[in-house]
Amino acid sequence: QDLMAAFARIERAFEGAEPGIGADYRSERTVDAWVLLCELAVRFGGAEEIRTYSALLAGAGRPVEATYYRTVLESSRLLGRLSALVDGISAVEQHEEPGNRHLMARLFELQATLALSSGRYEAVEPAYGKAVARGAGQSVTEDFAMLGRILPGPRSGTGQ
């Protein structure tokens, strides 16, 4: 609520302000206010506000900021959808039977990958274990091998 109140105050202060042609102080502050409004909207989940102010940023020649906030919004939406898919797979586990065991193995393999992709790390290992127990899991193993190749390991002496 505090973030939304701050958002409303800043929004009122710059309501109707449009950056001028030149780079005057008021124009620069207006665009900076739009960045701040996007940042506050990220914090309180204001999707419509992010759309509005990132569009204004794009129109004001600030494509990096506009792209950042649009990407945060869209990636958050997509991560939520991936997370829902992880839960949907868990919901059908009770319907496994001998005739669909192979497909369940592949489904658990997919669940492990989706959980990894969506940051649901607590769900990766159980899903992977279920996939392996049913004769699948190779693609998850390959995903981890690829991550191992591209991510640096802990540095000696850093305590990581």
What percentage of the chain has pLDDT greater than the value 70?
89
Is-above-0.95 flag for pTM?
A: no
DSSP of 50-113, one letter per residue? HHHHHHHHHHTT-HHHHHHHHHHHHHHHHHHHHHHHHHHHHHHGGG--GGGHHHHHHHHHHHHH
Structurally, how many domains does the chain consist of? 2
The reply to whether 72 and 124 lie within a common domain is no
List, for residues 51-93, the tens digit of each pLDDT value. 999 999 999 889 999 999 999 999 999 999 999 999 999 999 9
- Is 84 contained in some domain? no
The reply to whether 65 and 104 lie within a common domain is no
Between CA 30 and CA 129 the distance in angstroms is 53
Q: Which of 41, 76, 111 is the last residue of a domain?
A: 76
- Is 13 contained in some domain? yes
List, for residues 102-157, the tens digit of each pLDDT value. 999 999 999 999 999 999 999 999 999 999 999 998 877 787 788 788 888 776 55
- Is 65 contained in some domain? yes
Q: Which of 14, 47, 76 is the last residue of a domain?
A: 76
Domain around 31:
2-76
